[in-house]
Structure 1
Amino acid sequence: MQAAVTGHVLTFTGTALVAVYVLDAEGAELRLAETVSSAGRPYALPARYLLSGRSPVADAFRTGRPLWLSPDELAGYGPGTPETDTAPGTPETGAAPGTAPGVSLGALPLGGDGRGLGCLVVVDEAPDGIDADRRGFLELYAHHVAAGLEAAGPRALAQPGCELPGLTPDRLRVGSFVLVLGTGRMTADPQVLELFGFAPEDFDGRVETLLAAAVPDDVPVLMSVLEPDMLTSGAAHLEFRIRRPNGELRWLGLRSRVETGADGRPRRMLGVVAETSYLRPSADEVSLVQRLSAALAGATTIRDVGRAVVGALCEPLGASRVAVAELQADQLVVGLLVPAEPGAWPEVWRSAWRSEWPEPPSHALPSLTEALRVGQVSIWPEGADLEPGLAGIGPGGLALLPLPADGRTVGVCLIGWERRHAFGPEERSLLTATAGLVGQALVRAHALDAEHELATMLQRSLLPRKVPELPGGVAVTRYLPATMGLEVGGDWYDVIPLTESHVALVIGDVQGHSAAAATIMGQMRTAIRAYAVEGHPPDVAVAHANRLLVGMETDLFATCCYADLDMEEGEAWLVRAGHLHPLLRHPDGSTEVLEIEGGPPLGVVADAEFPMTAAGLSAGTLLALFTDGLVESARLDLEDGMLRVRQALARADPADPGGVADELLGGVSHREDDVALLLLRYDGMRVRPTRAGWTVWRLPDAVMHTRRFTARTLRNWGVKEELDVALLVTSELVTNALVHTQGEVRLSLTLTADRLRIAVNDPSPRTPVKPATVDWEATGGRGLLLVEAVSQSWGSVPLSGGKQVWSEVALSFRREEPPAAGRGTTR
């Protein structure tokens, strides 16, 4: 068996001797771990090389670059080079006389990238040295040996009696090939053909013949490396499965390098194929990977991916720390850290701990940056020479998993052990398989995150940006998008201030989750707001919206609940269109379902009627309007959901409506539907507005009579300093209405705690337009400019059958009690 293995490895390398040196436990010298020599070639190598000494092996290890020496160059090194083994045993230092003449040598570092594992040494008898093709094959072979060395653990291999994966008789399976890219012809040595299960006489020199043995699922990735039209210059590495003629399933590793011609185009490929089945995970580890794969299948966010990794790997591997991070524009964006306490992580991480997760600067972690550039799983044992930012994560051992997807590295997973951890070959293979799964899940979650963020942004753009301040109450709103399914929902809410201290509260839900549902939602919200502002009562506003939706000829329908609340009196008129009943929390802590006579959902019946229901609110009452996502799901029926919300309302503190809203939503997780919530605490108005009205007759002295009424009313109300301003505004607004409209004109005066509101209603729907330029010698055109100049604010709102132009004048005092005269008179 040993003779067969010796012939195998030496036939592949084309050399007289192959040896592997590994770094000893102290990191001071390279110790001989394995040697294979050709029969009749009495060459020997030293048992160890000091890293501080001068030798080809030490020089190659220190520089991290292959060293190729001709016989003359090798002789210049003196003792410590290959010598003729004429006596039993191998010298410890290689300093014996009689260095073998006419021998070339190659020393290839294993591992490199700041984590050197050892050196591969080859001895050749060619007088001109090792040619370029064999150098290429040997460099590829060195990568294969390094993978086996890293999997086995270099510290264990440095001990006497160790076995080296990749050179031992039971594991050695390696061969080489040359693929001419212009013709697609392949020259493969007998070892490659044996790995694929072909006899040399049965191979026709076509790469397709070997691809036919590959498992169909692995053919696309093989084609991406071997297909001439898809090749680029550089190196490639992958693992794949083949099915041998006897039915045996075998894992093979392919490492290749593409050479270019003088024109810069790929000319041919040099490749090494090796047996890697011994690096595959055991049955228990396969089960672990399957569990991880199942967990990642349901991960829709970056945080979900991190949790799946922690759940699948942390306990089985006995790891102390796990970090999962994305690479975004060369920045490390951490998605999950376990444990989450800053003190559990090195200083470079704690110094950047600004929000929930840190973003450590990449320049502080050069080993991590280099490992990500290489793109292969890196394992550092206890005591590895790493910067503090990495060494502190795993003082007993650290595994760094670049997360590949779509041909690039999309993230990184760091797994650290506090106590000494021994890395076995199976564990390294497990981590490699894990990295691929997590990388794909990370890309998928990132895309879903972006899609969900876009959908949420669209949804929120269709909702009110802020809730207005209300006299006599506080309103708060909440909206939570669904966590299952990432399409846009149709839930909406609105708080609409109306005239005379009324406010409209609207909650609604369009059927389905789609862009169409969001579009209908935006149209319904806008329509109901327009009808409400025009002054339509709740039943008319909802009926108009219903006819509008029916006329859109869409298959979607919507539910809605509309409440018109008088903030002075606490009286509410409510309309329900297929929606859930609101809930009330009374000041004594009791709760009730507010039973409202309802109509059908919007968009179902064009001539549907929507009856109104009256309700009275006392100061301190909470009114809750919500969509079904709050109280109903696949795991929660409607009755139980309503009971849960009522119990949360009963124990809530109404002094903090925002806290009550958060508590109501606190138990809503893993949402299958959107949730919209509108909560109003009714306080009542401590100082109620005082109102007076006057119908303006169309007489020549109509403005004079209106001014007299205004002056008399304001004096009775105690308004003195602002009287002249109020009379000016009244004159201008009434004059404007009389001149530019036909029909009834009405003046309304409203005195609140800190301002006076003057409003003039007329039958014209046309909004008054402020002139862009004014001729100061003309007799008109200056009215609105004067109103704007003396008012705190002014505007125009449409009303059913006309409009209202209003102006508010700030008071120089704050009224605490109603004026003695009470309400004004009306004509």
Structure 2
Amino acid sequence: MERGTRTPRAASALRALASGPDAADRLRRTLEQALVFAGAAFAAVYTPGQDADLLCLTESAGVPGSLYGVRDVYRASGASPVAAAHRARRPVWPGPAEPGGRAAARRARPGGRALAALPLPGGGGGCLLAVTEHPDGFDAEDRACLELIAEAVAGTAPVRAADGGDLPPGAFSLAMDTGRVRVGDDVLALFGLGPDAFDGRVETLLGLTVPEDLPALMSVVEADRMSPGDRELEFRVLRPGGPPRWLKLRGRLLPGGEGRPARLAGTVADASALRSDVTDVARVQRLAAALATAGTVRDVGRAVVAALRRPLRADRIALAGLENDRLVVTVLDPPEPEAWPEVWRSRWRTEWPDAPLRDMPALAAVLRGGRPRIWPPGSTAPGPALAEVGPGGLAALPLPAGDRTAGVCLIGWDAPHQVSADERALLTAFAGLAGQALTRAHAFDAEHELVGMLQRQLLPRRLPRLPGAVAVARYLPSTAGLELGGDWYDVIPLPDHHVALVIGDVQGHSAAAATLMGQMRTALRAYAVEGHPPDVVVSRANRLLADLGGDLFATCAYVDLGLEEGSAWCVRAGHLPPVLRRPDGHTEIAEAEGGPPLGVAAQAEFPMSPLRLTPGTLLALTTDGLVESPGADIDQGMARFAHALAGADPARLGPVADALLGRARRSDDVALLLVRYDGMALRPLRESWTVWRLPEAVRHARRFTGRTLRSWGVPADGADAVLLVVSELVTNALVHTDGSVRLDLTLVGGTLRIAVADASPRTPVKPTSIGWEATGGRGILLVEALSAAWGTLPVSGGKQVWCEIGVAGPGT
């Protein structure tokens, strides 16, 4: 904690305690602030006893005071720092700052520890005692914080006890010789008693406890079984008409001395919020049940946080998996980076931080040993990477998984917190369960990632750029199980500025379904590129699937969209129809006739339905995982989908797709394809020529090309290369093929596309070497040299050889 900021923070914390509802625990929590803000390892308050010459320990916090030679009772007339501060009504500090207190401080510093005693303001007497292990003792800011704490301790309001004495809220005092107990009305209310119904005997209170908890409680209240020191336990009291109430007892045996009886003093508080009316065994059972259904690493982390945060009243919980020599944090609670150490924030590379173990040697030692490690408040800090996680106490739990350590769970407290024996046992049980669950979750995550990677490999890696349209697609795998899904989508560019939009779903979730999905996607793409109309493409895919002879079938929707005019033809094979969002926001479910799913009947017919898209229209194709829901008709799901699409912003297709997927149920795969038709800014110019097999065929083709280029405004100096390419392609088709030959010219902007189609499926081969004496074989080499790009396409049993050449013309 930074210097110069502790005093105001201490004042703020003390004000919060003064106004808090937990009056029974207020004195102890007030003392704990000395551990947090003043660097004390032990803090206690002494008040005058029944004998005015005795100062008795009323409450303490931190490590046991016996480690520092601190006694439970001091004589007010003695030479101890406690007595000196009480009599003189002024603080006693170690060191040269207070010369009068040097001797007393030296006597009270066993092992070199420094001590401070401050009188409690007011007329009640008593003092605050603090011990630190810092070699320089308490500095000026430490002293200022201690003075604030002394004032807060003195301001704790007493309440009237049942026998007429004064006790702090929630406190009790038990005389060990007579069994008479002094308690306040608030403690009696916890036992379900009124002041008039209590006879002052401890046996009356013990008789209200659950019998199973009585032996542990008797071991505390019987003097012959106790030694001086702090005691803490939880027990249950019976309540008529309801479950037992958990109470927490904190007590200290104070010796009487000189014939006076010893007494047990402490507090009793309601622990129902901590216990939630269940036992530790029930908590472990609940965690085991939650971890049994936790599929991912984050699910495991959330279950652990939910099981530990409230019972332990922890301020921070972190769960990290161990990967090689690095800790990868999977769950932080609270999740804000500002709540965690600075060294962690510097490594906040992505969503969660990760760090090598060499940066945290204390934690590395814990993981090597395999045993939980508790750093109590006031202990030596375990390093900068961990100290800020729990300034009031820190627990590090290795998470065992067989013969290895799967990770670690860190639990931190801001206020000083002593981890009890019951809490240690609870943490040990939790650690074993969490370690096994974390190992299973890591394996599940790895398999799920492998499944997702295989699924992504079967889908398009990226969608093509379309002239006059924009397309986006999303695929959302199911979270149920680890099997591959059969949903797919595709965007297939076709000649003449057409595009095929495909979406489909194979029955089932298995490797066979994923394999069939890949086959169907490949088949539809191959048939579409061959130039077949949509109904023929789907029919051939149907016959292929039927011929494979498998038990699976597939649904499919295929849309052939002409980007020049916005005209489209839709074919459905048992699949959902497209949804159209018009530019004015109106949506409609396309009335497209449908055939049976692919693979059901080999001779099935698949009718084509026309669609008309105006610029600004959004076309949506999806699978049933997005619109189906249990207990609802699929038509209702389609209506909801269309309604959601109506409120979307078509200018931002990516966010629209993400928002639509947010409505999906994760028990099924989901594929979504959105296409916004904008219309082509530049309309292509086209001309075609059927080449007759005549001796002058090439000359006629060149003459047709020249006339076309002149009519399009292409300068003569840019036509020479085009005429040469036309000559070579037409000559190649006439010499090496039979049947008709067709020449197509298309000009878009400054790019001229030359395509020569023939009836031969044989693709021209570029020669690897040509001798100087050869008279042929240079045609394709010339085409490649003069063109920006060239290639071949299958067209209705034949092929089309095409190339693109940059020319100056309209729109350039």
Three-state SS of the structure 1 residue aligned to 2:279 is helix
Residue 419 of structure 1 deviates from its aligned partner by 1.6
* 1:779 to 1:372, Cα distance in 2 relative to 1, 3 A: same
Aligned residue number for residue 308 of structure 2: 313
Aligned residue number for residue 702 of structure 2: 707
Matched, 1:376 2:444: no
> Structure 2: 5+ residue runs without aligned partners?
1-61, 73-107, 114-219, 221-225, 234-274
- Asked if the contact 2:685/2:746 (under 8 Å) is kept, the reply is yes
Three-state SS of the structure 1 residue aligned to 2:229 is coil
Aligned residue number for residue 625 of structure 1: 621
Aligned residue number for residue 790 of structure 2: 794
Deviations 1:4-30, CA, capped at 9 Å, x for gaps: xxxxxxxxxxxxxxxxxxx95589759
Paired residues for 1:405-420 under 5 Å? 405-420=401-416
Three-state SS of the structure 2 residue aligned to 1:454 is helix
Aligned residue number for residue 481 of structure 1: 477
Matched, 1:534 2:530: yes
Aligned residue number for residue 674 of structure 1: 669
- Asked if the contact 2:712/2:809 (under 8 Å) is kept, the reply is no
Aligned residue number for residue 141 of structure 1: none
Aligned residue number for residue 434 of structure 2: 438
Paired residues for 1:531-680 under 5 Å? 531-634=527-630, 637-668=633-664, 671-680=666-675
Three-state SS of the structure 2 residue aligned to 1:456 is helix
Matched, 1:296 2:364: no
Aligned residue number for residue 761 of structure 1: 757
Aligned residue number for residue 778 of structure 1: 774
Deviations 1:54-75, CA, capped at 9 Å, x for gaps: xxxxxxxxxxxxxxxxxxxxxx
* 1:730 to 1:470, Cα distance in 2 relative to 1, 3 A: same
- Asked if the contact 1:631/1:637 (under 8 Å) is kept, the reply is no
Residue 159 of structure 1 deviates from its aligned partner by 9.8
- Asked if the contact 1:30/1:51 (under 8 Å) is kept, the reply is no
Q: How much identity, in percent, do the aligned residues show?
A: 64
Residue 584 of structure 1 deviates from its aligned partner by 0.7
Length-normalised TM-score, structure 2: 0.66
Deviations 1:549-583, CA, capped at 9 Å, x for gaps: 11111111000000001111111111000011111
Residue 769 of structure 1 deviates from its aligned partner by 1.0
- Asked if the contact 2:348/2:354 (under 8 Å) is kept, the reply is yes
Residue 281 of structure 1 deviates from its aligned partner by 13
Which of 363, 380, 385 is equivalent to 1:389? 385
* 1:163 to 1:313, Cα distance in 2 relative to 1, 3 A: closer
Q: Which amino acid aligns with 1:659?
A: P
Q: Which amino acid aligns with 1:350?
A: R
Distance in 1 (CA, whole Å) between partners of 2:536 and 2:606 is 8
Residue 285 of structure 1 deviates from its aligned partner by 2.1
* 1:715 to 1:312, Cα distance in 2 relative to 1, 3 A: same
Q: Which amino acid aligns with 1:468?
A: P
Deviates further, 714-723 or 743-752: 714-723
* 1:366 to 1:743, Cα distance in 2 relative to 1, 3 A: same
Aligned residue number for residue 686 of structure 2: 691
Distance in 1 (CA, whole Å) between partners of 2:681 and 2:66 is 82
Distance in 2 (CA, whole Å) between partners of 1:686 and 1:282 is 72
Matched, 1:421 2:417: yes
* 1:25 to 1:600, Cα distance in 2 relative to 1, 3 A: same
- Asked if the contact 1:761/1:803 (under 8 Å) is kept, the reply is yes
Three-state SS of the structure 2 residue aligned to 1:506 is strand
Residue 436 of structure 1 deviates from its aligned partner by 1.2
Distance in 2 (CA, whole Å) between partners of 1:365 and 1:813 is 69
Distance in 1 (CA, whole Å) between partners of 2:374 and 2:722 is 82
Aligned residue number for residue 105 of structure 2: none
Distance in 2 (CA, whole Å) between partners of 1:533 and 1:614 is 21
* 1:753 to 1:647, Cα distance in 2 relative to 1, 3 A: same
* 1:739 to 1:433, Cα distance in 2 relative to 1, 3 A: same
Aligned residue number for residue 493 of structure 1: 489
Q: Which amino acid aligns with 2:497?
A: S
Q: Which amino acid aligns with 1:600?
A: P
* 1:780 to 1:29, Cα distance in 2 relative to 1, 3 A: farther
Deviations 1:135-173, CA, capped at 9 Å, x for gaps: xxxxxxxxxxxxxxxxx9xxxxx99435799xxxxxxxx
- Asked if the contact 1:384/1:391 (under 8 Å) is kept, the reply is no
Deviations 1:575-631, CA, capped at 9 Å, x for gaps: 000011111100000111112111110111111111110110111000000111111
Distance in 2 (CA, whole Å) between partners of 1:51 and 1:557 is 83
Which of 274, 278, 285 is equivalent to 2:280? 285
Residue 331 of structure 1 deviates from its aligned partner by 0.8
What count of residue pairs does the alignment treat as equivalent? 564
Q: Which amino acid aligns with 2:409?
A: C
Paired residues for 1:218-297 under 5 Å? 283-297=278-292
- Asked if the contact 2:325/2:356 (under 8 Å) is kept, the reply is no
Aligned residue number for residue 522 of structure 1: 518
Residue 638 of structure 1 deviates from its aligned partner by 2.2
Residue 415 of structure 1 deviates from its aligned partner by 1.4
* 1:350 to 1:26, Cα distance in 2 relative to 1, 3 A: farther
* 1:546 to 1:466, Cα distance in 2 relative to 1, 3 A: same
Distance in 2 (CA, whole Å) between partners of 1:780 and 1:159 is 112
Aligned residue number for residue 207 of structure 2: none
- Asked if the contact 1:348/1:360 (under 8 Å) is kept, the reply is no
Aligned residue number for residue 349 of structure 2: 354
- Asked if the contact 1:282/1:426 (under 8 Å) is kept, the reply is no
- Asked if the contact 2:298/2:331 (under 8 Å) is kept, the reply is yes
- Asked if the contact 1:281/1:429 (under 8 Å) is kept, the reply is no
Aligned residue number for residue 365 of structure 1: 360
Distance in 1 (CA, whole Å) between partners of 2:372 and 2:299 is 22
Residue 754 of structure 1 deviates from its aligned partner by 3.2
Residue 776 of structure 1 deviates from its aligned partner by 3.4
Which of 443, 450, 454 is equivalent to 1:454? 450
Which of 322, 325, 332 is equivalent to 1:330? 325
Q: Which amino acid aligns with 2:623?
A: T
Distance in 1 (CA, whole Å) between partners of 2:358 and 2:606 is 66
* 1:754 to 1:159, Cα distance in 2 relative to 1, 3 A: farther
Q: Which amino acid aligns with 2:799?
A: K
* 1:409 to 1:30, Cα distance in 2 relative to 1, 3 A: farther
Aligned residue number for residue 499 of structure 2: 503
Residue 418 of structure 1 deviates from its aligned partner by 1.7
Distance in 2 (CA, whole Å) between partners of 1:635 and 1:722 is 67
Q: Which amino acid aligns with 1:362?
A: L
* 1:640 to 1:304, Cα distance in 2 relative to 1, 3 A: farther
* 1:636 to 1:423, Cα distance in 2 relative to 1, 3 A: farther
* 1:807 to 1:27, Cα distance in 2 relative to 1, 3 A: farther
Distance in 2 (CA, whole Å) between partners of 1:319 and 1:644 is 44
Paired residues for 1:93-104 under 5 Å? none
Distance in 1 (CA, whole Å) between partners of 2:732 and 2:809 is 30
Aligned residue number for residue 133 of structure 1: none
Length-normalised TM-score, structure 1: 0.65
Q: Which amino acid aligns with 2:639?
A: L
Deviates further, 798-807 or 376-385: 376-385
Aligned residue number for residue 508 of structure 2: 512
Aligned residue number for residue 7 of structure 2: none
Q: Which amino acid aligns with 1:698?
A: R
Distance in 2 (CA, whole Å) between partners of 1:572 and 1:293 is 57
- Asked if the contact 1:28/1:52 (under 8 Å) is kept, the reply is no
